[in-house]
Chain A
Amino acid sequence: GESVGLHLPTLSVQEGDNSIINCAYSNSASDYFIWYKQESGKGPQFIIDIRSNMDKRQGQRVTVLLNKTVKHLSLQIAATQPGDSAVYFCAESNTGTASKLTFGTGTRLQVTL
């Protein structure tokens, strides 16, 4: 049959607004989560991580929220800038399996001027 490429969900945000990117994970045993940013032609870049004993962690302009009850992770970017345009991946792992990460399919963030 015909193969279909991955269809990345796209989030369009106006410059200066806040962005929220969501991720649902599947493994209830996952206890470590990371958000990555991948710009065109580059490798994924570590943004922020969170462990399962926390439900919120803040970095510079970014906040990660973890809801273990519904297995949901979100990345909030404050005052979104054109340089934030990229594909964002969440990744999860069970640290009992020697730090092996499982990546989501990604969300494309487009920042409009």
Chain B
Amino acid sequence: DAGVIQSPRHEVTEMGQEVTLRCKPISGHNSLFWYRQTMMRGLELLIYFNNNVPIDDSGMPEDRFSAKMPNASFSTLKIQPSEPRDSAVYFCASSLGLAGEFFGPGTRLTVL
């Protein structure tokens, strides 16, 4: 299995631009998680899906952030408009039921 796949691996954009991060979970997993990691705040859960349905989005910082999971094999996290304080590494993770979450390699986002 290829594991959790994320794209792009690195993204540099200017303030105000739209950013879309993509994730392909491990085949067969029914839960998908989006995390953000920064030196200031550590690892934060933004949102998670179970069977493609958003369960808890209380970690989403504000309305500029949105996430979708149109099917079991694909999810996006969108930031519009982006701001410099959104600069972070964004991880996608997936799991099956109560199994431990398996993380992707992350997308390093830099907003200038």
Q: Are B103 and A106 in contact (CB under 8 A)?
A: no
What's the Cα separation between A3 and B31 when bound, in Å? 34
Contact partners of A105 in chain B: CB under 8 A: 42
A32-B98, A100-B48 are known contacts. Are A44 and B91 too (CB-CB below 8 A)? yes
User: Which residues of the partner chain B approach A46 to less than 8 Å between Cβ atoms?
Assistant: 100-102
Contacting B at CB under 8 A, from A55-113, are 89, 95, 98-103, 105-106
Chain A residues within 8 Å of B, Cβ to Cβ: 3-6, 32, 34, 36, 42-46, 49, 89, 95, 98-103, 105-106
> How near does chain B come to A54, taking the closest CB pair, in angstroms?
14
Taking each of A36, A98, A105, which has the highest tally of chain B beta carbons within 10 Å of its own beta carbon?
A: A98
**Pairs across A and B, CB under 8 Å, 17 listed:** A5-B39, A5-B40, A32-B98, A42-B106, A43-B4, A43-B104, A44-B43, A44-B93, A45-B103, A46-B101, A98-B55, A99-B95, A100-B45, A100-B56, A103-B43, A105-B42, A106-B42
Minimum CB–CB distance from B60 to chain A (whole Å) comes to 14
Top 10 closest pairs, chain A to chain B, by CB? A43-B103, A5-B39, A46-B100, A103-B43, A34-B100, A44-B103, A43-B106, A49-B100, A43-B91, A5-B40
B40 CB to nearest chain A CB (Å): 5
- B41 contacts across to A, CB distance below 8 A: 6
Chain B 83-112 interface residues, beta-carbon cutoff 8 Å to A:
91, 93, 95, 97-98, 100-106
Cβ-defined contact, A101 with B105, below 8 A: no
Contacts of B45 in A (CB 8 A): 100-103
Q: A99-B98, A101-B45 are in contact. Are A6 and B40 (CB under 8 A)?
A: yes
Indicate if B76 sits at the interface (CB-CB under 8 A): no
Within the complex, what minimum Cβ distance (angstroms) separates A76 from chain B? 18
Assuming the A-B contacts A44-B91, A98-B31, are A6 and B39 also in contact, with contact meaning beta carbons closer than 8 angstroms in the complex? yes
What separation, in Å, do the CA atoms of A98 and B4 have in the docked complex? 20
CB neighbours of B106 from chain A (8 A): 42-43
Q: Whole-angstrom distance between the alpha carbons of A99 and B94 in the complex? A: 11
Q: Which of B1-41 contact A (CB under 8 A)?
A: 4, 31, 33, 39-41
